[in-house]
Amino acid sequence: MLTPCLVAATVFGLSLMPALAGNAPGGAAAARHAGFDIEAHRGGRALRPENTLQSFANALSMGVDTLELDLGVTKDGVVIVSHERGLDPDLARTADGSYVPAPGIPFVKLTLAEVKRYDVGQIRPGSAYAARFPDQLAVPGTRIPTLAEVFALVRRSGDHHVRLNIETKIDPNHPDESPDPERFVALVLDLLRREDFTGRVMIESFDWRTLRLVQEQAPAIPTVYLTQVQEPDANVYLDRPSPWTAGFDPRKYGRSVPRAVKAAGGKIWSPLFEDVDQQSIREAHELGLRIVVWTVNRPEDMARLIDMGVDGIISDRPDVLRAVAARKGVKLPRPAPVSP
């Protein structure tokens, strides 16, 4: 009988135990990198408008292992795809072409019909966001998708390999900007079951309360524990309790973040890439955790992290990541051309 970890490995076509990789065919490089996960961050936001059918179609068409995306919930209980918990002033435009004023309206105060009125196909010119991603192709008229619409796109692509790494966007310090953890998780799991997509997702979050609920209610779905130790945006603290970690603070586990993730029941540890080193990667693997780092956009960092032994990389530039991974002997996922 398969253990829970190996069940998850079978579902995702990945090896959760590094020792198993040594039996993989195709030489030392292929064995070492068996099951490496190429993830398109927000669909690959350096190339197309983030978290949209445009970006996901582009990623599918080039070939990725995983579409990474973020979830919000509307006033009428529809699960939508957005990194922010509300309309982003750098992305959302009204019918007259003007960008919404900061801080943006939380989605829990808007119906789906109201959300669909906004155009998110072009970054606000002159913004810091625009400066970071000058190569993003503007696609005016692009709307915020529902998660169900993303599922439909994946089905149309015919890609039976690709998985979704879906993040619950919830902040314990701003409880009024999203549903409470129980309702958020209930809505997501209900949708996954109705759409018959539970076997093709991982659920990630910086707010570990939602991950604990997923583990209780849908234990077959791998949970991905997002962490950032570096301030000012840390969710994991090494010297004090955190409202993000559901009581599993690293200080209780020898100041070890991977040990805290393991204690909480995580299958995958997803740290900020600057937070990892060879020792923490080795420790995580010894605990049976996979390590998928975020968000890596420079080819030299990608190459270094692959050499260090991470199990996957989340990137805004999946095209660059594919090229670097290929040079390292990683077997690339096949393209699945599809239109948004």
DSSP letter for each residue of 203-251: EEESSHHHHHHHHHH-TTS-EEEEE--SSSS-S--SSS--TTTTT--GG
pLDDT at position 10 = 34
**Domain locations in the chain as residue ranges:** 4-85+143-327
CATH number of this structure's domain 4-85+143-327: 3.20.20.190
Q: What does the pLDDT look like over 290-320, one tens digit per residue?
A: 999 999 999 999 999 999 999 999 999 999 9
Is pLDDT above 60 for 60? yes
Q: Using an 8 Å Cβ cutoff, are 236 and 242 in contact? A: yes
Q: What does the pLDDT look like over 219-270, one tens digit per residue?
A: 999 999 999 999 999 999 999 999 999 999 999 999 999 999 999 999 999 9
pLDDT range class, residue 30, cuts 50, 70, 90 = low
pLDDT at position 33 = 72
In the structure encoding, which two tokens stand for residue 91, read together?
């992305």
Q: Using an 8 Å Cβ cutoff, are 72 and 100 in contact? A: no
Q: What does the pLDDT look like over 149-182, one tens digit per residue?
A: 999 999 999 999 999 999 999 999 999 999 999 9
Q: Using an 8 Å Cβ cutoff, are 294 and 273 in contact? A: yes
CA 134, distance to chain mean position in Å, is: 22
Burial group, residue 17, by CB count within 10 angstroms (0-12, 13-18, 19+):
middle
How far, in Å, CA of 162 to CA of 14, rounded?
12
